[in-house]
Structure 1
């Protein structure tokens, strides 16, 4: 196995092993490893990959690692990074399932999980705000995600409809109001 495959697998295994809170909580670790430590991508490229991974069906963390791996070494790179991300969670869930009955009524374990919740919220909130800032979401246009969240919560609008509507308006805005040169 080539060194890049092993390195990418170990990198994403470590990210998958030490991240609580799912894909969004992984973003700072992925950014540090992929952009700063290994220099496999620029911050702008990673932001584009994050946007693509969010718009694809499936688990965000796997989508993100798959796209990074594919950028590195096509299909084999995608397989290495995806396995590296998924394997720690699979092993941990398997171990929890094997021993769950012994711990399900343990007050200490329940207290630990209650204590982890605020940290997980912070781990998800910080990269969300950082991504929003890097993507150009500021006070002038922060109403867009707020309006989308309110439409889902208050009026029961389908999240898929919100995504499609936002995509159409984003495309129209980019095409006619503020076109960018490529």
Structure 2
């Protein structure tokens, strides 16, 4: 029963979720809590691990959630279910790409989806912050250092145009130095 729930859930997510793995987080959270596969705190940790791991966040999340819910078979079923819709859609779109590429309706549809994807990613970030109690009113060293790391990381990415890999590695090293 759990394997079917995993397959059905991730298959549907793969078909209806636009914008990549981070945009899927609210949908994943809804399913995880509905089926009771894990707590919100566990999901937050899973998303963090999936985001830091090589590969797409959506498939990494599906593997980790599936494994938590039903072991190796759950991981396999979940990742196949989330990848199968993309495979089907890419094959269909590739068959008609030249006809659809310059179709005004298709262009307008994708133009309209951009704000949705952005809002889903921002929503996921806000939920992540609230779930981990990262917003605190006290001005402790810990909370101030988190704000400084965030600000410097954003500055390095936007103004200095550093490679995100370097920013991630440097932020991790700063975290080890500050919080060990």
TM more than 0.5: yes
For residues 130-170 of structure 1, give each alpha carbon's deviation from its aligned partner in whole angstroms, at most 9, with x where no partner exists: 21232333374334223212202222322122111211222
* Superposed CA RMSD: 1.6
Conserved 8 A contact 2:21-2:57: yes
Partner of 2:51: 54
The alpha-carbon deviation at position 45 of structure 1 amounts to 0.5
For residues 114-142 of structure 1, give each alpha carbon's deviation from its aligned partner in whole angstroms, at most 9, with x where no partner exists: 11111111111111122123233337433
Q: Distance in 2 between matches of 1:79 and 1:167?
A: 30
Partner of 2:141: none
Q: Distance in 2 between matches of 1:108 and 1:53?
A: 35
Gaps spanning 5+ residues in structure 1: where? Answer: 176-182
1:113-132 matched pairs, under 5 angstroms: 113-132=110-129
Q: Report the 3-state secondary structure (helix = DSSP H, G, I; strand = E; otherwise coil) of the residue aligned with 2:113.
A: helix
1:13-32 matched pairs, under 5 angstroms: 13-32=11-30
For residues 2-42 of structure 1, give each alpha carbon's deviation from its aligned partner in whole angstroms, at most 9, with x where no partner exists: x221221111111111111110111111111112x100100
Q: Report the 3-state secondary structure (helix = DSSP H, G, I; strand = E; otherwise coil) of the residue aligned with 2:159.
A: helix
Q: Distance in 1 between matches of 2:52 and 2:70?
A: 22
User: After the TM superposition, which of the residue ranges 98-107 and 143-152 deviates more from structure 2?
Assistant: 143-152
Q: Distance in 1 between matches of 2:114 and 2:148?
A: 27
Partner of 2:139: none
User: After the TM superposition, which of the residue ranges 67-76 and 43-52 deviates more from structure 2?
Assistant: 67-76
User: After the TM superposition, which of the residue ranges 126-135 and 164-173 deviates more from structure 2?
Assistant: 164-173
Partner of 1:179: none
1:1-182 matched pairs, under 5 angstroms: 3-35=1-33, 37-138=34-135, 140=144, 141-175=146-180
Q: Distance in 2 between matches of 1:40 and 1:60?
A: 18
For residues 57-107 of structure 1, give each alpha carbon's deviation from its aligned partner in whole angstroms, at most 9, with x where no partner exists: 101100011111111222211110101111111111111111111122211
Gaps spanning 5+ residues in structure 2: where? Answer: 137-143
Q: Distance in 2 between matches of 1:171 and 1:69?
A: 30
